[in-house]
Amino acid sequence: MDELLRINNLKTHFFTKKGVVPAVDGVSISVPQSSVIGVVGESGCGKSMTAMSIMQLVQKPGRIIDGSIELEGEDLLKYSGDNMRNIRGNKISMIFQEPMTALNPVYTVGRQVTEAIRIHHHDIDKEEAKKMALDIFNAVGIPEPDRRFNSYPHQLSGGLRQRVMIGMAMVCNPRLMIADEPTTALDVTIEAQILFLMKKLQEERGTSILLITHNLGVVAEICDYVYVMYAGKVMEQANTFELFKNTSHQYTEGLMKSIPKITAEKERLYNIKGVVPNLMKLPKGCRFCPRCEKAMPRCFMEEPPLYKVKTVVENAGEHYARCFLCESSEVMNDD
């Protein structure tokens, strides 16, 4: 598969008065054309900051200090100001957890969508833009698009708002859509609708989706390939099926065992001990070792690289895990 987006050794650090917070600390992610890539992790693992870094929306005191972000071979980090604005919304778009914060409450959703179109395509007149907006409203399954076109964001339900957001993100046919916890604020039945919609749009339009979530269920449901992040680093990466079948990192394993499953019989839940570490005081070795059941003295001394893991699922592509227990001859080279 062709590569659409390639993030190499990205480092986004926050320089606060109390110290440096390495929110993203050497992350490499690859997004192939027309695929759904999941980034999963708990709060503070750096998943949202990775997304913000791609959009170059990192707020002060944060700064991208190293690495490259290549979209179809062009390094986005070399772009600035106007050039980047042209990429945002046009080639890469983003949707957020709470659509209300991303929509302007004083304009109708129709106006906001048409403006989004006209920002990137100056040659399109208002009538045409409106037609495009109504088309996209139809495509994202908004009932009565004509009426909704003139609604204000607060008049819509959470699910409809998220549909509007997705419509706005898709209207310029971006190559990549970054979805940051798109369904976390929604009810279960609405969540299922939105996930289904995203998958459908991805298949129909060939847009790639970078899905950022804390929910392994969502990952299992629609992602092709998954990156598991912890404390600013990728801990494990694999094809979704491979990841669930051949879980190799202790953290991923702990996460999977600690979620209650609606399908399974009742049994005592597994606990990952301790708490998510403070990023300002990370352990010297493996970042997960203080909470890891199988930690060895070595884990406290040196940090493991991403080792290649032998896959068990066919055609699963490459599987890496940052754990000495998976030690093998092959190490991801750009780490």
Q: Rule CB under 8 A: is residue 106 a binding residue for another protein?
A: no
Shortest Å distance, C-beta 55 to another protein: 24
Smallest CA-to-CA distance from 112 within 152, 156, 141 is with 152
The angle formed by the CA atoms of residues 36, 37 and 39, to the nearest 5 degrees, is 140
262 scored as a contact of another protein (CB under 8 A) = yes
189 lies in the binding site for another protein (CB under 8 A): yes
Query: Does 214 help bind another protein (rule: CB under 8 A)?
Result: yes
Among 190, 246, 308, 317, binds another protein (CB under 8 A): 190
> Of the candidates 92, 139, 295, 316, which one interacts with another protein according to CB under 8 A?
295
Radius of gyration of the chain (CA): 21
Instruction: Choose one: 112-120, 174-182, 202-210, 275-283; the region binding another protein (CB under 8 A).
Output: 275-283
Q: Which is nearer to another protein, 170 or 194 (CB)?
A: 194
Does position 283 bind another protein by CB under 8 A? yes
Q: Phi/psi at 83 (nearest 5 deg)?
A: -60, -45
Task: Classify burial at 127, counting beta carbons within 10 Å of its beta carbon; exposed 0-12, middle 13-18, buried 19 or more.
Answer: exposed
Tell me which stretch binds another protein (CB under 8 A): 29-37, 60-68, 103-111, 279-287: 279-287
**Residue 57 binding another protein, by CB under 8 A:** no
Going 135 to 139 to 143 to 148, the CA torsion angle's sign is negative
Q: Which residue among 99, 159, 167, 304 contacts another protein (CB under 8 A)?
A: 159
Q: Count of CB atoms within 10 A of residue 280's CB?
A: 12
- 244 near another protein, rule: CB under 8 A: yes
Contact residue for another protein among 32, 290, 305, 317 (CB under 8 A): 290
Nearer to another protein, 176 or 186 (CB): 186
Q: How far is the CB of 121 from another protein (least distance, A)?
A: 32
Of 16, 80, 104, 274, the one binding another protein (CB under 8 A) is 274
Nearer to another protein among residue 122 and residue 273 (C-beta): 273
Q: From the list 20, 83, 147, 196, which residue makes contact with another protein (rule: CB under 8 A)?
A: 196
Which x/- pattern, by CB under 8 A, does the window 65-104 give for another protein? ----------------------------------------
Comparing CB distances to another protein, the nearer of 100 and 190 is 190
| Among 105, 112, 192, 200, residue whose Cα is nearest residue 155 | 105
What gap in Å lies between CA 135 and CA 182, rounded to an integer?
A: 22
CA gap 298, 304 in Å, rounded: 9
- The encoded tokens of residue 282 equal 């990370």
Nearest to 315 by CA among 240, 252, 255, 262: 240
Interface with another protein includes 157 (CB under 8 A)?
yes
The 3-state DSSP class for residue 31 equals: strand
Residues 23 and 16: their CA atoms lie apart, in Å, by: 12
Number of residues that bind another protein (CB under 8 A): 60
Query: Is residue 293 exposed (0-12), middle (13-18) or buried (19+ Cβ within 10 Å)?
Result: exposed
Between CA 190 and CA 251 the distance in angstroms is 30
15 binds another protein (CB under 8 A): no
Query: Read out DSSP for 81-110?
Result: HHHHHHHBTTTEEEE-S-HHHHS-TTS-HH
Query: Which one of residues 73, 81, 105, 297 is an interface residue with another protein (CB under 8 A)?
Result: 297
Residues that bind another protein (CB under 8 A): 17, 42-43, 143, 157-160, 187-193, 195-196, 214-221, 240-241, 244-245, 254-256, 258-263, 266-272, 274-278, 280-281, 283, 289-290, 295-297, 299-300
